[in-house]
Chains A and B, each alone.
Chain A
Amino acid sequence: DQQVKQNSPSLSVQEGRISILNCDYTNSMFDYFLWYKKYPAEGPTFLISISSIKDKNEDGRFTVFLNKSAKHLSLHIVPSQPGDSAVYFCAAVDSGGYQKVTFGTGTKLQVIP
């Protein structure tokens, strides 16, 4: 039972345009959502997070939007750069649960110069 889903395995975007990565979840107990970025042969690194009490969080070129009623979040990258090419994992935490982080399946983003 996949509680965090990323339905797009891959995405290609031209440099300078917007990249939108999507994530859906099913567990209403999740209260934090995070995005991690992973380059080949490296471990994932934290990118940005959002609390369930907010609907938007921005950090430079990266913005995460949360729609609790739809159980949907998205990561916007504007403008996209070739160095953004990586696999992006959506993750969710139930802080009152079993201290586990649940990850999605990942979306491979390719930014074309």
Chain B
Amino acid sequence: NAGVTQTPKFQVLKTGQSMTLQCAQDMNHEYMSWYRQDPGMGLRLIHYSVGAGITDQGEVPNGYNVSRSTTEDFPLRLLSAAPSQTSVYFCASTGTGAPSGANVLTFGAGSRLTVL
């Protein structure tokens, strides 16, 4: 059982380039989300989705785009990369309904992005 798979693990971009971080889960989870981790800032929610065709913004959505065409996949697109988007990105999912104490998030291993 693979769980949550993120690709690529590492990426270096130049300012202004675009790219997509891939996230796939094989647990039939309805809820998927993207976080970024920065020193001293913890994990901050970028976008989330409660099911195929439904997405919403989190705490820091600017500069990022998402779509959810299937239950399994939730790609994160950087439209025009900026140095401020240098970070470690985590995809996370959970089962039916909203995250809770009983419905915990399962995280991928992360994607480290550097924007020069």
Contacts and interface: CB of A to CB of B under 8 A. Distances in A.
Interface of A: 4, 6, 9, 32-34, 36, 41-46, 49-51, 89, 91, 93, 95, 98-106
Contacts, number: 69
Scoring B31, B45, B92, B98 by chain A CB atoms within 10 A of each residue's CB, the highest score goes to B98
B101 interface: yes
Given A42-B109, A100-B45, A103-B43, 17 more contacts: A6-B42, A36-B105, A36-B107, A42-B110, A43-B108, A45-B107, A46-B104, A49-B102, A49-B104, A89-B42, A93-B99, A95-B98, A95-B100, A101-B33, A101-B99, A103-B42, A105-B40
A32 B101 contact: yes
A31 B46 CA distance: 22
B35 interface: yes
Contacts of B100: 32, 93, 95
Interface residues of B, number: 29
11 contacts: A42-B110, A43-B108, A43-B110, A93-B98, A93-B100, A93-B101, A98-B56, A99-B31, A99-B99, A100-B58, A102-B45
Contact of B109 (A9, A41, A98, A100): A41
